[in-house]
Amino acid sequence: MQSLVSVDQLEVHFAVRTGFMQSMFGKETPVVRAVDGVSFELGKGEILCLAGESGSGKTTTGKAILRLVEPTGGKVLYEGEDVRSYNRLRLRAFRQEAQIIFQDPYESLNPRQTVFSTVAEPLEVNNLCRSLAEKEERVAQALVDAGLHNPRELFLRYPHELSGGQRQRLAIAGALVLDPKFIVADEPVSMLDLSIRAGILKLMVDLRDKKGIGYLFITHDLSLAWLVSDRIAIMYLGKIVELGSADKVIKEPLHPYTRALVSVIPTPRRKVITQQSLLKGETPDPVNVPAGCRFHPRCPEAKPRCREAVPLYREVRPGHFAACHLLDS
Ligand SMILES: Nc1ncnc2c1ncn2[C@@H]1O[C@H](COP(=O)(O)OP(=O)(O)O)[C@@H](O)[C@H]1O
Ligand SMILES: [Mg+2]
């Protein structure tokens, strides 16, 4: 598969603001290791899912790839080119080709902008239309591509007049109008009713099939990841602990953390299991990352070695990567 995005040892550390007294006494500034050495490849037209609990660094990874937050280390290649080497013009083109869709369409949409101006704005900012007729045509097409019918009847509506699902489709239309090749979809259906989730997910998969768009699909819900993605990467405290084909990761998970996540996926026979029953221990804190394997304080299978040495992230089986000492023996 041709590479679309290649991420190499990406790192985003945030300095936590501390009080005057603390800096007076020369205490070290604490650092949030939001993303702490993440590497993966995303192919053209591939759907790669980044899954893991809240706070594991998924959103920050997505934003750092798009340069919406500045990485503190590592490299991001887009179609083989280092995104940090971009000049202004190339960065502008990259910002058109690479889009982000957020969880909450209420937040990402301006309530005072009509449907038309919401979708037309990126065209205007980038000076992409020669006439009003052309602009209207492109806006209408983007709305149709996002699954909104009778687009011209929606032109003068406001976001609050739309349903939740329609609003998320509007946000998707705003991304599609620039003809992207890469979309970071950050929990795109988490705020939506169960009944309309499937439609939005199907739309995203269809767009991949029709337009060859590659996705980094971010979710805390592994059952969604299984449904839509080609491959799944599992993140824990700023690191990828496992990556492989969706089927292998769900059916033959290698890492104890993945096994814990998989075991709470509802199945027809086993509808609800509380998360707490499986993942014990303190909630992970990216300021105080545990030594050794960072999952060891919560790992049901931890051995003494797991407290001491950082496990190597390696290809355990063809195309299936994981970082766990238990796989070494
Ligand atoms: N701008 C920021 N400043 C400081 N800490 C941040 C910032 N953004 C995110 N974080 C912290 O980084 C960690 C990862 O956050 P995030 O990427 O949002 O995780 P996820 O999307 O997996 O829930 C969290 O502990 C979060 O509080
Ligand atoms: Mg997030």
Query: Is the CB–ligand 1 distance for residue 238 below 6 Å?
Result: no
Average the pLDDT over each of 62-66, 70-74, 114-118, 190-194 and give the range with the smallest value.
190-194
Contact present, 118 and 154 (Cβ < 8 Å) = no
Going by alpha carbons, the residue nearest to atom 4 of ligand 1 is 14
For ligand 1, whether the C-beta of 57 sits within 6 Å is yes
Number of domains present in the structure of the chain? 1
Ligand 1: centre distance to CA 13 (Å)? 10
Is 98 inside any structural domain?
A: yes
- Minimum mean pLDDT range among 93-107, 207-221, 226-240: 93-107
276 pLDDT exceeds 80? no
**CATH number of the domain residue 125 falls in:** 3.40.50.300
pLDDT attached to residue 41: 97
- Residue 97 within any structural domain of the chain: yes
Q: Which helix (H) or strand (E) holds 153?
A: helix 151-154
Does the residue 28 lie in any domain? yes
Residue 95 lies in a domain: yes
How many angstroms separate the CA atoms of 170 and 175, rounded?
Answer: 9
Rounded to an integer, what is the distance from CA 158 to the centroid of its chain? 28
pLDDT in tens, 234-262: 999 999 999 999 999 999 999 999 999 99
pLDDT surpassing 60 at residue 273: no
Q: Write out the H or E segment, with its range, that includes residue 39.
A: strand 31-43
What is the domain extent for residue 183? 3-220+230-242
Q: Left, alpha or beta for 233 (phi > 0: left; psi -120 to 50: alpha)?
A: beta
CB of 175 shorter than 6 A to ligand 1: no
Question: Which candidate, 219, 183, 220, 222, places its Cα nearest to that of 204?
Answer: 183
Please choose from 12, 13, 14, 18 the residue to mutate so as to test ligand 1's pocket, defined by most ligand atoms within 8 A of CB.
14
Burial status of residue 210 (CB atoms within 10 A of its CB: 0-12, 13-18, 19 or more): exposed
User: Which ligand is the nearest neighbour of the Cα of 185?
Assistant: 2
pTM equals 0.93
Identify whether 254 is part of a domain: no
Which of 10, 32, 72, 217 is the pocket-test mutation for ligand 1 (most atoms within 8 Å of CB)? 32
Ion ligand 2 — residues with CB < 5 Å: 59
Tell how far the Cα of 109 is from the centroid of ligand 2, in angstroms: 18
Check if the beta carbon of residue 158 is closer than 8 Å to that of residue 111: yes
Torsion of CA 273, 276, 277, 279, to 10 degrees: 120
Is 286 near ligand 1, meaning CB less than 6 Å away? yes
The residue written with tokens 């009944």 in the block is 195
> Whose alpha carbon is nearest atom 1 of ligand 1?
14
In this structure, is residue 307 part of a structural domain?
no
In this prediction, residue 275 carries a pLDDT of: 47
Query: Which residues have a Cβ under 8 Å from the Cβ of 311 and sit 6 or more positions away?
Result: 292, 293, 323, 324, 325, 328
Does the Cβ of 253 fall within 6 Å of ligand 1? Answer: no
Contact 212, 176 (CB under 8 A): no
Task: Decide whether any atom of ligand 1 lies within 6 Å of the 54 Cβ.
Answer: yes
Q: What is the mean pLDDT of residues 17-24?
A: 66
**Dist CA 56 CA 219 (whole Å):** 11
Is there an atom of ligand 1 within 6 Å of 165 CB? Answer: no
Question: Is 76 contained in some domain?
Answer: yes
Any idea what DSSP says for residue 196?
Answer: H
Q: Over the stretch 54-113, which tens digit does the pLDDT of each residue have?
A: 999 999 999 999 999 999 999 999 999 999 999 999 999 999 999 999 988 777 899 999
Ligand 1 contacts CB of residue 283 (under 6 A): no
Q: Which residues contact 322 (CB under 8 A, 6 or more apart)?
A: 241, 242, 243, 244, 254, 255, 258, 313, 314, 316
Q: Is 55 in the pocket of ligand 1 (CB under 6 A)?
A: yes
What is the predicted pLDDT for the residue at 104?
A: 82
